[in-house]
């Protein structure tokens, strides 16, 4: 019933299909929750974990298939689940990370190596860098193997007061699995990344910024922008 993941690893179009279906699920959950999300931002005094909490509540309300195995890692929301397609089924490690930022940073999302299975290839300080992400493309546990799918939800808000914010929009991005490296980031010159806001000279951990525009130029569906109600949302394919 389930596709062996060694066979799936060679079928890149099927991996894209699975990630697109997962992107639709997360986007629909966040869209359905957008009015409640706006209310949370108006009432919540602490913005540090507001994105993580909002996304978790949205996905919990939607409900997804669940495999009774706990996943570990630095991603906020981690769920071992089934993906069912008319022609196949796959065990998936769905990883959803969230962040709330003021609108000035709306074009990018900042990542650590522990949040991607891609190698991070880009130009930094005039030099080509190639840093491996530490999330496995296929996650192996004691009991099963899971295809890893990583999605980022970014809430952009305007500060109204010390303890109040107005949610402006929500950007959702499906980061490609590392098996899709050659399609999305084959070289440092052909990249979806920008240099992160960290200073190696000060010993700060490596950071990189995912550029929404560059990822969307590769595949429109991988970046979706959800406006606030009552403005309509249309899936961009």
The pLDDT value recorded for residue 163 is: 66
Residue by residue, pLDDT tens for the chain (237 residues) are: 789 988 999 999 999 999 999 999 999 999 999 999 999 998 887 777 899 999 999 999 999 899 999 998 889 899 999 999 999 999 999 999 999 998 888 899 999 999 999 999 999 989 999 999 999 999 999 999 999 999 999 999 998 776 678 899 999 999 999 999 999 999 999 999 999 876 555 566 789 999 999 999 999 999 999 999 999 999 999
- CA 133/CA 113 separation, integer angstroms: 4
| 230 upstream amide cis, omega within 30 of 0 | yes
Alpha helices in 94-184 (DSSP H): 181-184
pTM of the entire predicted model: 0.93
The pLDDT value recorded for residue 74 is: 84
User: Radius of gyration of the chain from Cα atoms?
Assistant: 18
- CA 220/CA 215 separation, integer angstroms: 8
Q: Measure Cα distances from 112 to 71, 165, 172 in Å.
A: 18, 26, 17
């Amino acid at each position: 019933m389930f596709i062996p993941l060694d066979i799936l690893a060679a079928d890149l179009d099927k991996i894209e299909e699975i990630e697109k279906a997962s992107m639709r699920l997360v986007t629909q959950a966040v869209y359905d929750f957008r009015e409640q999300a706006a209310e949370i931002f108006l009432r919540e005094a602490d913005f540090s974990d507001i994105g993580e909490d909002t996304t978790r509540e949205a996905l919990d309300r939607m409900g997804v298939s669940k495999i009774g195995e706990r996943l570990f890692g630095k991603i906020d929301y981690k769920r071992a689940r089934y993906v069912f397609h008319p022609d196949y089924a796959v065990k998936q490690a769905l990883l959803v990370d969230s962040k709330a930022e003021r609108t000035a940073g709306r074009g990018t999302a900042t990542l650590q190596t522990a949040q991607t299975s891609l190698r991070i290839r880009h130009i930094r300080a005039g030099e080509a860098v190639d840093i491996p992400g530490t999330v496995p493309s296929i996650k192996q546990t004691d009991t099963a193997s899971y295809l890893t799918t990583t999605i980022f939800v970014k809430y952009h808000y305007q500060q109204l007061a010390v303890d109040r914010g107005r949610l402006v929009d929500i950007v959702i991005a499906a980061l490609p699995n590392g098996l899709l490296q050659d399609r999305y980031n084959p070289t440092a010159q052909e990249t979806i990344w920008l240099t992160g806001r960290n200073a190696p000279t000060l010993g700060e951990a490596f950071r990189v910024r995912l550029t929404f525009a560059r990822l969307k130029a590769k595949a429109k569906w991988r970046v979706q922008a959800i406006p606030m109600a009552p403005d309509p949302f249309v899936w961009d394919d």
